[in-house]
Amino acid sequence: MIWNIVLTFVVLPIGWWANQIASEVKRLNILLNMTRENYIKREDHAGELGRVVDHLVRLEGKIDKLAEK
């Protein structure tokens, strides 16, 4: 019976600790996935913005040609 009590006081904290670590890893994984979804690098943003501006300039030229006719 003493062995069961000692074993309980040793295994129980280890199990509790493992559970806490597992829940913290799950929480950090969720936060990391949220960061990946909402984050864009400055260089990527500048490149995409440049492409959008180029297309708008081309559209503006086409609209100007149509307005002249």
Instruction: Give the pLDDT confidence of 1-37 residue by residue, as tens digits.
Output: 888 898 888 999 999 999 999 999 999 999 988 877 7
Q: Which residue has the tokens 């509790």?
A: 16
Distances (CA, A) of 43 to 4, 22, 37, 48, 56: 61, 36, 17, 9, 20
Say what the pLDDT of residue 54 is: 95
Q: What is the pTM of this model?
A: 0.47
Asked if residue 56 has pLDDT above 80, the reply is yes
Write out the two tokens for 57.
Answer: 């300039």
Asked if residue 39 has pLDDT above 80, the reply is no
Q: In angstroms, rounded to a whole number, what is the distance separating the alpha carbons of residues 34 and 69?
A: 51
Q: In angstroms, rounded to a whole number, what is the distance separating the alpha carbons of residues 59 and 51?
A: 12
Say what the pLDDT of residue 64 is: 93
